């Protein structure tokens, strides 16, 4: 079986095939601003990492269309189980850059209290954005389990499991899709096929005709979409979400896109990505494509871009400065958020830690008295 050509809505000149995304002008501009804000967040975080102020970051350059198009299909009551390259989903739904920057620094206001790596965001509002997992694919069966629980409770909730092409090589992908198919769980699987799993090309990930075709074995539809076309992604995801919400079961959506930056700020993609491949995908830049649509629709002019991007940069820079000034998590945070009542053996260990901190001159240890 050969999969069809990826679904697209926006033509190269910005025209559409008549599809109505059901979004107002303000909502369409929100999609555009979100993509610019993702790029601004990336730019600021790269500077922070290069100057040694944060540990690392994950570039999103080229993937913004998939992130924003997918995010626009979900309600605030739904649950997102994201990959670590889904900044646009968080920003689209109103999670603030400052909240995200707290995690980049791992400070005292970080939701994970510094226990997670940077870009491992977790938020419960304004949308349920589940903690990102470093081990590839582990969140896929978690999303399926949450979806099945929601179904058993009779809730009107849909889960998103978002992952890269490399995630399809994980055990979690196969077990997750298998159970979702059997249970008809209300979950949408989003495979962001960006060409590379770090330095491993797609051709070395699978011998099948892409990834959407794998859905057939698990008893669900598989759809291929142009991941650099925001509206095409929205259209596909809306249909998959509606299918899940109405009891029709899961869908596997493969978005064909391209990571134009490194896997992370610790990666040099020029060592393995052919220059001509990057140049080819630069012409398909999702931001430029959406700009042509907005311009053709009379909602945007080229002169608007620079001030809008400058505003986004200022917003991200201010968030970084504020987060950098927040103190690191207190020593006692090592022992919190696990037990309702701290067991005696951990209380003894906590007291020993604070006494050690006082002897070593750690101001966070105060007078050496363990506060829990």
Q: Tell me which residues are annotated as active site.
A: 259, 263, 272
List Cβ neighbours of 54 (8 Å cut-off, separation of 6 or more). Answer: 45, 48, 104, 105, 118
Number of neighbours of residue 54 by Cβ within 10 angstroms: 24
The partner residues of 196 in beta bridges, in order of sequence, read 201
Contact predicate 163/212, CB 8 Å: no
Question: 170: which 2 tokens?
Answer: 């994980």
**Alpha-carbon separation of residue 186 from 162, 166, 326 (angstroms):** 14, 23, 40
Q: How many CA atoms lie within 13 A of 353 on its CB side?
A: 16
Residue keyed to tokens 């601003």? 33
DSSP string, 287-318: HHHHHHHHHHTTS--GGGHHHHHHHHHHHHHH
- HEC profile of 53-81: CCCCCCCCCCCHHHHHHHHCCCCCCCEEE
Q: Which two tokens stand for residue 157?
A: 């909730």
How many of the other CB atoms lie within 10 Å of CB of 5? 8
Alpha carbons 80 and 74: distance in angstroms, whole number: 9
Return the number of other C-beta atoms located less than 10 Å from residue 171's C-beta: 12
Maximum CA pair distance of the chain? 71
- Are the beta carbons of 66 and 124 closer than 8 angstroms? no
CB atoms within 10 A of CB 273: 20
DSSP of 180-207, one letter per residue?
HHHHT-SEEEEEEE-SEETTEEGGGT-S
Question: CB count, 10 Å around CB of 112?
Answer: 18
């Amino acid at each position: 079986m050969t999969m069809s050509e990826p679904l697209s809505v926006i033509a190269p000149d910005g025209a559409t095939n008549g599809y109505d995304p059901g979004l107002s002008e303000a909502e369409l501009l929100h999609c555009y601003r979100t993509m610019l804000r993702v790029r601004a967040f990336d730019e600021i975080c790269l500077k922070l990492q290069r100057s040694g102020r944060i540990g690392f970051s994950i570039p999103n350059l080229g993937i913004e269309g998939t992130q924003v198009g997918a995010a626009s299909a979900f309600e605030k009551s739904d649950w997102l189980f994201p990959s670590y390259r889904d900044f646009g989903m968080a920003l689209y739904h109103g999670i603030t850059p400052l909240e995200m920057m707290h995690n980049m620094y791992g400070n005292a206001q970080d939701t994970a209290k510094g226990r997670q790596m940077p870009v491992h965001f977790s938020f419960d509002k304004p949308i349920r954005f589940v903690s990102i997992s470093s081990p590839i694919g582990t969140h896929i069966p978690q999303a399926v389990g949450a979806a099945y629980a929601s179904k058993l409770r009779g809730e009107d909730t849909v889960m998103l499991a978002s992952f890269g092409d490399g995630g399809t090589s994980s055990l979690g992908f196969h077990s997750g899709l298998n159970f979702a198919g059997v249970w008809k769980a209300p979950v949408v699987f989003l495979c962001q096929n960006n060409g590379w799993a770090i330095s491993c090309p797609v051709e070395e990930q699978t011998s099948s005709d892409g990834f959407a075709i794998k859905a057939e074995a698990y008893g669900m539809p598989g759809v291929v979409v142009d991941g650099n076309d925001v509206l095409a992604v929205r259209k596909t995801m809306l249909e998959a979400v509606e299918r899940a919400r109405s009891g029709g079961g899961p869908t596997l959506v493969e978005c064909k896109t391209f990571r134009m930056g490194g896997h992370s700020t610790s990666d040099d993609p020029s060592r393995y990505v052919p220059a001509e491949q990057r140049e080819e995908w630069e012409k398909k830049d999702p931001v430029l494509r959406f700009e042509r649509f907005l311009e053709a629709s009379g909602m945007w002019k080229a002169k608007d871009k620079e001030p809008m991007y400058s505003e986004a940069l200022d917003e991200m820079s201010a968030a970084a400065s504020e987060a950098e000034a927040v103190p690191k998590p207190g020593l006692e945070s090592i022992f919190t958020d696990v037990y309702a009542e701290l067991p005696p053996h951990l209380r003894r260990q906590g007291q020993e830690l604070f006494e050690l901190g006082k002897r070593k001159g750690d101001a966070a240890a105060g007078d050496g008295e363990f506060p829990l």
